Amino acid sequence: MPNERLTTSEIGLIWTQYMQSSMSVQILLYFSEKVEDSNIKEIIDQALKINEGLTTNMRELFQTEELPVPIGFDEHDVNREAPRLFSDSFMLMFVETLAKTGLLIHGTTLAGTVRKDVRTLLSNTLSETSNLFNNCIDTSLDKGVYIKAPHIEVQDKVEYIQSKKYLSPFFKRSLNTVEMIHLFENIKTNMLGELICTGFAQTTNSTDIKKYMNRGKEISSKHIQTFTTIFKESDINTPMGSDAYVTNSEIAPYSDKLVVYLMSVLSATGQGNYSTSSTASLRYDLVLTYQRLSVEIALFAKDGLDLMIKNGWLEESPQAIDRRQNRKINNSI
């Protein structure tokens, strides 16, 4: 039985996957050229192979369905000859984050897909991404650069919440382990964001984008400080940083279009993380903090979209034909 036409949700989800995987390919091509550690290079090349395969398969899907193939990102968006901008540990941490995001995106896309060939493709990609994520963690542990969540002493028996005071924003009880893991993960992602913005701010020639990246760095730094303070209030040691760093290179490895799009993807991921963290937290002061910080990220993301529109970089996702406009044209003839 031949495959049915793609549904609207499938087209939209596949389009998003294509845009992000084509961007990831260019990022990873540069990483593969500049990484020095052979074990980390294997991880980068594994991630590159997954994203190249996904980009090719998605392009073929669009062509088979006679749909316009997205422009996305290509060799014009990367300068593989640019000097090394990030340390090996940064690259490994970036691929770990890429794998985490991929697990969420591929899972979401799979859940919204009906056609068997597309489900098979996404299921295989999900399995490959899971393997990549596990390899990232194993390699980070072997290298001694993995940033671990805090160790704590926990109560020795199960207890029930006895009072609404447990939820109160005014009575700041000790953090529970669920709240801790979300705070910890948000510190890690903001550490990554801070380094990315630092690198892109020092390599772009655009005043507007330099200003935008410096603003992103300030937001990430402020959010790290906010979450660190919450840990300290519960007398819990905050996660220690790795040896991830940015070099002093001032030559851009990526196009301005790619770096601003990457920031839009990271901002969307950050908003999703904060929304999940807010839902999982039972201390209302944490809920309010996540909601407040989410607004700041949303405004930052909106300004990034404005930058892309201003420069003609924001590609439209597939949309329905405007039949109302066609009727207006026909009526005027």
How far is Cα 128 from Cα 130, in angstroms, rounded to an integer? 5
Residue 150: predicted pLDDT: 74
Which homologous superfamily does the CATH classification assign to the domain defined by 162-321?
Ferritin, core subunit, four-helix bundle (1.20.1260.10)
Question: Is this model's pTM higher than 0.95 or not?
Answer: no
d(CA 136, CA 97): 9
Res. 98 pLDDT band, cuts 50 70 90: very high
Reported as a pLDDT band with limits 50, 70 and 90, residue 173 is confident
Read off the pLDDT band of 161 (50, 70, 90).
low
pLDDT tens profile 231-253: 998 888 876 666 788 999 999 99
Nearest-angstrom CA–CA distance, 18 and 261? 13
**How high is the pLDDT of residue 325?**
58
pLDDT at 324: 60
- Predicted confidence (pLDDT) at residue 167 exceeds the cutoff of 70: no
How high does pLDDT run on average in the chain?
A: 89
* Fold match flag (1-146 vs 162-321): yes
Per-residue pLDDT, 322 = 61
Percent with pLDDT over 90 in the chain: 69
pLDDT band at 112 (very low <50, low <70, confident <90, very high): confident
Tens of pLDDT, residues 32-73: 999 999 999 999 999 999 999 999 999 999 999 999 999 999
Tokens of 188: 């890690």
pLDDT tens string 277-314: 999 988 888 999 999 999 999 999 999 999 999 999 99
- 141's tokens: 């542990």
Question: Region 133-139: what's the mean pLDDT?
Answer: 97
What phi, psi does 86 have (nearest 5°)?
-125, 150
| Topology adopted by domain 1-146 | Ferritin (1.20.1260)
Domain boundaries, given as residue ranges, for the chain: 1-146, 162-321
Candidate from 7-11, 146-150, 206-210 with smallest mean pLDDT = 146-150
- C-alpha 307/C-alpha 142 separation (Å) is 41
Banded pLDDT at 1 (limits 50, 70, 90):
very low
Per-residue pLDDT averaged across 19-26, rounded? 96
> How far from chain centre, in Å, is Cα 1?
38
Tell which wins on pLDDT, 136 or 114. 136
pLDDT tens per residue, range 310-332: 999 999 887 766 656 555 555 55
